[in-house]
Amino acid sequence: MTYREISSLKKVVDEYMHRVPGIDVITNRCLRTERWGGSVVLMIIDAAFTSIGLNYFTAVIPKVEEFGRRYVDTGSVDSLDKLSNADLDKLREVWKNRRSWAVARGAASSVLRMDMGNDKEALRAWAKNANLREWGLDPVGRIIGVGIVTFQYLRMMGGVDTVMPDKIVKRVLNEILIKSGIDLVKEDVAFVERVEDLAKICGYRPIDLCWMTWLVQPEGKMMRMAKYSAILSKI
């Protein structure tokens, strides 16, 4: 990239990032694998529920919170081992979608293979060793219902500084590229790698750009960053 292209890109990225002050509090918690009070069970359930495309703030979060109250807080399903072996009918009392539970139980079982002694270190070990370019060959990536978006989301919660190539992330970041006079990137793996490179050129972390794209979205008359501030502080 030329100096002019880098300068133009940084200017546009700065404009977007200034709309989400304090986003590093959220992303640091994600990179430390401390979302959802540090419950890896809830992180995996979050990813599994999110995988079917419902509204994250109005549909997914309330149900993850309900699962946490009913099963994690009570000790009934508070570990990946318990989640991987949990009764499907019991799980569906909170969330009906069978594919989500296939993702959750499959991911829990796959992460446990890292044999790290505790759930957090197992997720972090899996995320560190997972290969983006071969994501479809990964034990988690092979689970029916897990696409590259869910794969990347789990890697982020496992401490990897990267992005998810979901439709919102791609739309906003490609919009930034257009404004900066830089060619679009469409293919998912190439998009992730391009954003990882461009983020560092601009002085940001890839994960910060990823979360920014979700939180600058308007809902009604408010931006998500403001509308869901109380929720974001908990997760």
H helices of 113-166, in order, are: 119-129, 148-157
Which amino acid is it at 207?
I
Question: What is the spatial distance between Cα 31 and Cα 211, in angstroms, rounded to a whole number?
Answer: 12
Instruction: Provide the CB-side half-sphere exposure for 16 (13 A, CA).
Output: 27
140 and 130 Cβ atoms separated by less than 8 Å: yes
Question: What is the spatial distance between Cα 30 and Cα 78, in angstroms, rounded to a whole number?
Answer: 19
Position 115 scores a pLDDT of 87
Question: What is the spatial distance between Cα 100 and Cα 170, in angstroms, rounded to a whole number?
Answer: 23
Instruction: Flag residues of the chain having pLDDT under 70.
Output: none
Position 49 scores a pLDDT of 98
Question: What is the spatial distance between Cα 223 and Cα 163, in angstroms, rounded to a whole number?
Answer: 21
Position 38 scores a pLDDT of 97
Instruction: For 145-234, list the strands marked E by DSSP.
Output: 218-219, 222-223
Q: 97: alpha, beta or left, given left = phi > 0 and alpha = psi -120 to 50?
A: beta
H helices of 32-159, in order, are: 40-50, 61-67, 80-84, 88-91, 98-112, 119-129, 148-157
Torsion angle in degrees (nearest 10) through CA of 51, 56, 60, 65? 130
Question: Which residue, chain included where needed, has tokens 């939180």?
Answer: 215
For 223, the 3-state DSSP assignment is strand
For 160, the 3-state DSSP assignment is coil
Question: What is the spatial distance between Cα 189 and Cα 7, in angstroms, rounded to a whole number?
Answer: 25
Position 117 scores a pLDDT of 86
Position 191 scores a pLDDT of 96
